[in-house]
Amino acid sequence: MHVNACRGARSLAPRLLERHRDDAAWATSPRRIPTRIECAGDDAMGRFLTVARDLHARLSTALGDAGLEYADYRILARLGAAGAPVDVTALADAGDGSTAGAEHRVERLAARGLIVLERPDPARSLASASLTAAGIAAAAAGAAAVEHVAAHFDDALAPPERERLGELIARVRSLGAAPPPAAER
């Protein structure tokens, strides 16, 4: 029932845009045209995204209280786990996902005194990074914040529920490898 209502809302979008084509503020507002996720409150995908967003917000708040952003913590944790200098390009998947983003974030962490950059060849822009004593402390504070949020999550679910959730998430992740079905017209 909700899926049909959403299809109706989706097909309404071109008519709404045509009716309001001269109203630039209305046409560019992301809240004017309902999407499948917005109009299907009991839709599994919408609920999944809502819970993921809320959990990420709690994690971001906890890490923020420790003076870190999520991507900062991931880089510090990766460096801490390595126990040795790590090439900045290898940190891309721990941070923003791009080499340029990782380099920028690493430079900011270095400016805060949390990591030290080592450039064996000054002509190269790429460097390796390692934690300073302050970086080790920040990584520990971040780990405590993550553990705090994880403990609340774990307390909300019984062990069999957590196991089942892990299985479901693995199945949803496997869908990401396959191309989505063609959109309805």
Determine the angle formed by the axes of helices 133-156 and 70-82, rounding to 10 degrees. Answer: 110
Res 59: pLDDT: 93
3-state per-residue secondary structure call for 95-121: CCCCHHHHHHHHHHHHHCCCEEEECCC
Q: Which of 102, 105, 100 is nearest to 91 (CA)?
A: 102
Q: CA gyration radius for the chain?
A: 22
Give me the chain's average pLDDT, please.
76
Query: Percent of the chain beyond pLDDT 70?
Result: 66
For 44-177, CATH number? 1.10.10.10
Q: Where are the domains of the chain?
A: 1-42, 44-177
Contacts of 162 (CB under 8 A, 6+ apart): 154
- Which amino acid does the sequence have at 105? R
pLDDT of 85 higher than 50: yes
pLDDT of residue 102: 81
Q: Are strands 115-118 and 86-87 parallel, antiparallel or unpaired?
A: unpaired
pLDDT of residue 5: 40
Which residue, among 91, 62, 89, 50, has the nearest Cα to 149 in the 3D structure?
62
User: Model confidence at 11, in pLDDT bands (50, 70, 90)?
Assistant: very low
What pLDDT does residue 24 have?
Answer: 54
Average pLDDT over residues 37-41: 47
* pTM score over 0.95: no
Q: Does residue 30 have a pLDDT over 60? A: no
Which pLDDT band, with edges at 50, 70 and 90, does 155 fall under?
confident
**In the chain, % of residues over pLDDT 90:** 30
Task: Look at residue 17 and give its three-state secondary structure.
Answer: helix
- The per-residue DSSP string of 42-84 comes to T-HHHHHHHHHHHHHHHHHHHHHHTT--HHHHHHHHHHHHH-S
